[in-house]
Amino acid sequence: MISILPITFISYFIYFSIQKRNKLKNGIYDICTCSETGSIKYYLVLESKHGKYFDARQLSKISYLFIPNKISPLLTTTYNDYESAQESLQEFKTKI
């Protein structure tokens, strides 16, 4: 009975990891805007469900474990113009 508990915990962790990876890999990414001190800033967002967006800059640290290190800076950056945000989004989509 005691050995079932660790196996259950490990199995749940593996299942959670696969679900999280698939959600981040198959998610729909887009560009969103925010206004800071009168200037418009752009950042990437993740649509997890239809019409429900999450700021990619504020993903949990656990989420970043499932994203390769070379593309995680693309998600955490705030861009000054739409063109650079669009380039980063295209680069992110090709690398993931």
| pLDDT digit string, tens, across residues 27-69 | 888 898 888 777 888 988 988 777 788 888 888 887 777 777 8
**Domain ranges, residue 12:** 4-95
Greater confidence (2 vs 61) lies with 61
**Which long-range contacts link 9-17 to residues 24+ away (Cβ below 8 Å)?**
17/66
Residues in CB range of 50: below 8 A, 6 or more apart: none
> How does the average pLDDT of the chain come out, rounded?
84
| Beta-carbon count within 10 A of 74 CB | 21
Q: How many other C-beta atoms lie within 10 A of the C-beta of residue 64?
A: 14
Tell whether pTM > 0.85: no
* Residue 83 confidence (pLDDT): 92
What value does the mean pLDDT take over residues 9-34? 85
How far apart (Å, rounded) are the C-alpha atoms in residues 26 and 42?
22
